[in-house]
Amino acid sequence: MELIAVAPGVTAFIRYDEGAANAGLIRTAEGAVIVDTTQSPPDMQALLDAAGIVAAEAHLVINTHFHSDHVWGNQLFACPILAHRLCRERMESLRDSDWTPEALAASIAAREKDDPAWARETRVRIAGLRVTLPTEVFDRRRDLEIGGVHIEVIHFGGHTPDSCVVWLPESRVLFAGDLIFARRYPFILDADIPAWIAALKRLPEFGARAIVPGHGLLCGEPEIAALRDYLEATWVRTAEHVTQGHTADQATADPAYPRFNVANAARYHETNIRFMHEQIRKSLA
Ligand SMILES: [Zn+2]
């Protein structure tokens, strides 16, 4: 993990380990604003320790979307937690279904045989997890002024129905959440792909000086374009396969798909094509 001062008073927590989500810290005269709380309370605590702040100093937490690797550290904070209305709704329903202690234990057990190290680590990570919902919600956008800092939280959808970005107009920093996976395969299993492509076409309009992606290193417009091109080309090509009556297996065997040159590429590459194949097939049925 690396703490990067992206602008005066604005810190990005950039994670190098595969899968870990980035987070942000905005220091204001009224206290800290935290953007996303990572995958667990101990993980989030480590970020706060590295930045030299305590959770009680936080004035506000913002969740960019409901995925567990962005919201499972929420319980550390007693301050208000702001998110899109759909984020709260989705977290509430998961809290009572897939995210109950019993359901989580069962899903870890199911993966234990294939990946015992992951199962062990995950049990430690989520021991004591208390799913903590956003306390304040909005629909389209929320404009804040906290301790003299303007903060705009804007809904885009795409990656998930509730996906938002956090924009700081004075420092021109954009926390893009999982609308951007920088130079890597995106996680798309809750996505509306056409909506995501449309969102990525709008992100350059911010004219950001620094972009903190949900996953990957600090980035800029080339990374937005790379992800947009990947999603667009994969979507269009998969639609062609579906139209020609090809199965998902036939589609994944097509060597002409775009690829990111990263570890575990084959797994994500195929998973994403299969998901798109299913979405497109259903939409045509
Ligand atoms: Zn996500």
Q: What does the alpha-carbon distance between residue 81 and residue 138 come to, in Å, rounded to a whole number?
A: 11
Whether pLDDT at 263 is above 80: no
CA 83 to ligand 1 center in whole angstroms: 14
Whether pLDDT at 266 is above 90: no
CA 29 to ligand 1 center in whole angstroms: 30
For residue 98, give the DSSP letter: T
Whether 249 is in a domain gets the answer yes
In this prediction the pTM is 0.96
Asked which of 46-60, 94-108, 236-250, 255-269 is least confident by mean pLDDT, the reply is: 255-269
Q: What is the pLDDT of residue 285?
A: 83
Give percent of the chain with pLDDT exceeding 70: 100
> Mapping DSSP to helix (H, G, I), strand (E, B) and coil, where does residue 137 land?
strand
CA 165 to ligand 1 center in whole angstroms: 12
Specify whether 53 is located in the same domain as 155: yes
Residue pLDDT, tens place only, 86-113: 999 999 999 999 999 999 999 999 999 9
CA 86 to ligand 1 center in whole angstroms: 14
Q: What is the pLDDT of residue 46?
A: 95
Q: What does the alpha-carbon distance between residue 138 and residue 134 come to, in Å, rounded to a whole number?
A: 11
Of 112-116, 151-155, 268-272, which one has max mean pLDDT? 151-155
CA 157 to ligand 1 center in whole angstroms: 11
- Which residue stretches of the chain are H helix? 41-51, 68-71, 85-95, 101-112, 116-126, 193-202, 221-243, 248-252, 265-284
Residue pLDDT, tens place only, 145-202: 999 999 999 999 999 999 999 999 999 999 999 999 999 999 999 999 999 999 999 9
Whether 29 is in a domain gets the answer yes
Q: Once rounded to an integer, what is the mean pLDDT over residues 44-61?
A: 96
CB 141 within 8 A of CB 172: no
Specify whether 20 is located in the same domain as 81: yes
CA 178 to ligand 1 center in whole angstroms: 5
Whether 115 is in a domain gets the answer yes
Q: What is the pLDDT of residue 237?
A: 98
Specify whether 157 is located in the same domain as 183: yes
Specify whether 179 is located in the same domain as 135: yes
CA 244 to ligand 1 center in whole angstroms: 32
Total number of domains constituting the chain:
2
Tell me the two tokens of residue 82.
């702001």
Q: What is the pLDDT of residue 19?
A: 78
CA 187 to ligand 1 center in whole angstroms: 7
What value does the mean pLDDT of the chain take?
96
Q: What does the alpha-carbon distance between residue 285 and residue 283 come to, in Å, rounded to a whole number?
A: 6
Split at pLDDT 50, 70, 90, the class of 265 is confident
Whether 225 is in a domain gets the answer no
